[in-house]
C-alpha cells in the first residue's frame, strides 16, 4: 500500500475513539471472565462465546455498514472526484478504502479475537483455538470485502440495493453471522466431518476455510475492477466470466451433498446445477447493470466499425452470464436428446426450453423498462415488481378460472404439457418485439 495512503488510513481514526473502544470492550471481557472463573475455574467458554458475539455485532453494524458506504459517503460529501484525480492507482485505492473505512471495526475485532484466542486456548488448547480463530477471521474478511464490493456495485450500476442504503447489506451480514454461528459449532480438530467434492472426500474444516478464503479473494478482485470503472479505466468483463465459471464448477462439485432430484441423470446433475448458477448470476447482473443509451449507441458504432476490442469493453456483464447459461443448457440438452426415450429426460428437456423462454421474457422486461423514457426513477425495481406479479398474483388469478392455467406462467417438466411451450414462446416474442421497437427508436 502507498505509505501516504497507509498514514492517512490511521490518521482518520482518532486516538480517543481507540482508547474508549479498547477500554469498554476490555472491561466487558474482564468482568465476564472474572464471573465465569469464580463459578467454574476450569471454564472460559462463555467468555469465548461473548467475544464471538460482540465481534459479530461489530462486524455487522460497524464493519459491513462502513465498508458498504466507503465510496458512497465520499460521493455525497463531494470529495470522490478529487480522490479519483489523485495519483493513486486502482489497487492502492481499493485497499485504502477497504481498510480505511473499516479501521475502527478492525481494531475492535482484533481485541475480540485476542480475547477469544486466550479463552478458547484456556478451554480447548492453543491448536484448536488457532483453528477456530482462523475460521472466524477469514469469515470476517469475507464479510467486509463482500460489503465493500456490494457498495461499489450499487453506485456503479442501477442496483436495487442502493434504494435500501446500508440496510440491505446489514440484513445480508446478519445471514452471514448466522452461517458463522453454524460453522463455529464444530470447532477446530473436533470438526471431523468430510465433504464430498466431485467424488473426493475433503476435510470439512479445511474445505470451508479454503472456500471462504477464495471467495474473499474474488470480492477483493471484484472491488478492484469496480474501482477501475470508477476511475474511468477501460475494462473487458473477463473477470466476471471467470467468476461465473468458477461458481459453476465450485457448486457443481457439491451435488452429491445435496438431496438427489434426478437419480437417473448421472453427470447431467452437475450441468443442471451449473446452469442454475449461471442463471442466478444472469438475473443479478441484468438488474444491477447500468442501462445507458449512450453506451448502446457506442456499441453499435464499434460493431459497425469492426472494433471488436472496444466492443468487448462495452459488452455488459449480463451478456457474459447469458452466453455461459446458453452454453451449459445446450450441452445438457445434447445429453438429454441422446436418450430422449427416457420420460425423465424428455420432461427435463421440456423444462429447460420453457425455462429459457421465461428467462428471455424476464430479461426483455428489464431491458424494455431500463431503456425507457429518461428520468424515470428505479426502472429495475418496477421490472422486479412486474416479474414478481407474473409469477405470483397473475397466475393465481388465472388459476381461479382454470386449474390448468398455471402452464402459461411456469416452466413445466411434464411431456404431456407440450403446448406450454407455446405460451412461453408467445410471451418471450411479444416482450422482445417491444424491446426491439424501443431500442430502434432510442438508437
pLDDT of residue 15: 63
Percent of the chain with pLDDT over 90: 12
Integer Cα distance of 269 and 433 in angstroms: 34
Query: Which of 197, 184, 164 minimizes the C-alpha distance to 72?
Result: 164
* 0.85 surpassed by pTM: no
Query: Which of 70, 67, 68, 61 minimizes the C-alpha distance to 177?
Result: 61
Return the domain boundaries, the chain.
Answer: 1-191, 234-338, 340-443
Instruction: Place 244 in a pLDDT band, splitting at 50, 70 and 90.
Output: very high
Query: Which of 224, 246, 248 minimizes the C-alpha distance to 325?
Result: 248
What average pLDDT does the segment 7-22 reach? Answer: 58
Percent of the chain with pLDDT over 70: 79
Integer Cα distance of 363 and 369 in angstroms: 10
| Beta carbons within 8 Å of 380's beta carbon, 6+ residues apart | 158, 159, 160, 287, 288, 366, 369, 370
The answer to whether 77 and 158 are in contact (CB under 8 A) is no
Secondary element (H or E) of residue 184: helix 167-184
Query: Which of 28, 13, 10, 25 minimizes the C-alpha distance to 108?
Result: 25
Name the grid cell of 400. Answer: 381461479
Residue 416 pLDDT exceeds 70:
no
More confident residue, 199 or 316: 316
Secondary element (H or E) of residue 45: helix 45-58
Integer Cα distance of 274 and 268 in angstroms: 10
pLDDT tens for each residue of 119-128: 888 777 888 8
Tell me the Cα Rg of the chain.
25
Poorest-confidence range of 172-181, 406-415, 420-429?
Answer: 172-181
The answer to whether 204 and 63 are in contact (CB under 8 A) is no
Residue 279 pLDDT exceeds 90:
yes
DSSP state of 406: G
Neighbours of 386 (CB within 10 A): 15
The answer to whether 372 and 438 are in contact (CB under 8 A) is yes
Distance from the Cα of residue 427 to its chain's centroid: 29
pLDDT tens for each residue of 33-69: 777 666 666 667 777 888 888 888 888 888 888 888 8
* Residue where the block lists cell 448470476: 281
The answer to whether 387 and 358 are in contact (CB under 8 A) is no
DSSP state of 292: -
User: For 372, what's the count of Cα atoms within 13 Å in the CB-facing half-sphere?
Assistant: 15
Could you tell me which residues are beta bridge partners of residue 202?
A: 195
What stretches of 59-166 show up as alpha helix (H) in DSSP?
Answer: 65-68, 72-76, 80-84, 90-101, 103-124, 126-156
pLDDT of residue 13: 56
Integer Cα distance of 321 and 243 in angstroms: 10
Instruction: Place 375 in a pLDDT band, splitting at 50, 70 and 90.
Output: low
Name the grid cell of 308. Answer: 471488436
Show contacts of 310-314: CB within 8 Å, 24+ apart.
312/236, 312/237, 313/234, 313/235, 313/236
pLDDT tens for each residue of 93-106: 888 888 888 888 88
User: For 233, what's the count of Cα atoms within 13 Å in the CB-facing half-sphere?
Assistant: 13
Residue 420 pLDDT exceeds 50:
yes
User: How high does pLDDT run on average in the chain?
Assistant: 78
Residue 29 pLDDT exceeds 90:
no
Amino acid at each position: 500500500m502507498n505509505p501516504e495512503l497507509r498514514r492517512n488510513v490511521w490518521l482518520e481514526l482518532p486516538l480517543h475513539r481507540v482508547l474508549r473502544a479498547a477500554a469498554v470492550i476490555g472491561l466487558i471481557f474482564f468482568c465476564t471472565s472474572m464471573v465465569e472463573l469464580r463459578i467454574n475455574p476450569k471454564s472460559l467458554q462463555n467468555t469465548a462465546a461473548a467475544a464471538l458475539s460482540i465481534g459479530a455485532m461489530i462486524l455487522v453494524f460497524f464493519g459491513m455498514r462502513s465498508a458498504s458506504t466507503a465510496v458512497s459517503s465520499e460521493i455525497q460529501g463531494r470529495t470522490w472526484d478529487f480522490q479519483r484525480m489523485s495519483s493513486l492507482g486502482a489497487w492502492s485505492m481499493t485497499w485504502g478504502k477497504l481498510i480505511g473505512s473499516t479501521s475502527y471495526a478492525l481494531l475492535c475485532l482484533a481485541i475480540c479475537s485476542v480475547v477469544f484466542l486466550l479463552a478458547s486456548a484456556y478451554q480447548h488448547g492453543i491448536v484448536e483455538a488457532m483453528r477456530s480463530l482462523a475460521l472466524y477471521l477469514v469469515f470476517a474478511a469475507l464479510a467486509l470485502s463482500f460489503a465493500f464490493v456490494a457498495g461499489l456495485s450499487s453506485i456503479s450500476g442501477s442496483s436495487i440495493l442502493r434504494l435500501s442504503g446500508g440496510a440491505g447489506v446489514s440484513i445480508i451480514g446478519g445471514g452471514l453471522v448466522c452461517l458463522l454461528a453454524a460453522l463455529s459449532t464444530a470447532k477446530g480438530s473436533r470438526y471431523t466431518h468430510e465433504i464430498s467434492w466431485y467424488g473426493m472426500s475433503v476435510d470439512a474444516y479445511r474445505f470451508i476455510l479454503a472456500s471462504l478464503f477464495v471467495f474473499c479473494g474474488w470480492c477483493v478482485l471484484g472491488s478492484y475492477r469496480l474501482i477501475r470503472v470508477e476511475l474511468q479505466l477501460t475494462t473487458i468483463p473477463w473477470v466476471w466470466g471467470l467468476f461465473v465459471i468458477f461458481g459453476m464448477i465450485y457448486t457443481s462439485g457439491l451435488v452429491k451433498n445435496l438431496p438427489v432430484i434426478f437419480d437417473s441423470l448421472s453427470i447431467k446433475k452437475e450441468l443442471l446445477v451449473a446452469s442454475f448458477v449461471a442463471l442466478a448470476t444472469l438475473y443479478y447482473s441484468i438488474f444491477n447493470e447500468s442501462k445507458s443509451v449512450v453506451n448502446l449507441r457506442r456499441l453499435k458504432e464499434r460493431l459497425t466499425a469492426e472494433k471488436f476490442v472496444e466492443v468487448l469493453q462495452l459488452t455488459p456483464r449480463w451478456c457474459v452470464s447469458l452466453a455461459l447459461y446458453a452454453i451449459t443448457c445446450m450441452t445438457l440438452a445434447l445429453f438429454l436428446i441422446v436418450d430422449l426415450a427416457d420420460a425423465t429426460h424428455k420432461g427435463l428437456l421440456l423444462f429447460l426450453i420453457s425455462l429459457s423462454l421465461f428467462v428471455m421474457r424476464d430479461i426483455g422486461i428489464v431491458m424494455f423498462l431500463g431503456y425507457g423514457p429518461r428520468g424515470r426513477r428505479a426502472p429495475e425495481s418496477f421490472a422486479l415488481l412486474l416479474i414478481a406479479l407474473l409469477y405470483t398474483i397473475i397466475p393465481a388469478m388465472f388459476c381461479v378460472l382454470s386449474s390448468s392455467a398455471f402452464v402459461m406462467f411456469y416452466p413445466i417438466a411434464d411431456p404431456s404439457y407440450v403446448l406450454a411451450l407455446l405460451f412461453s414462446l408467445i410471451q418471450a416474442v411479444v416482450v422482445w418485439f417491444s424491446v426491439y421497437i424501443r431500442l430502434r427508436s432510442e438508437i
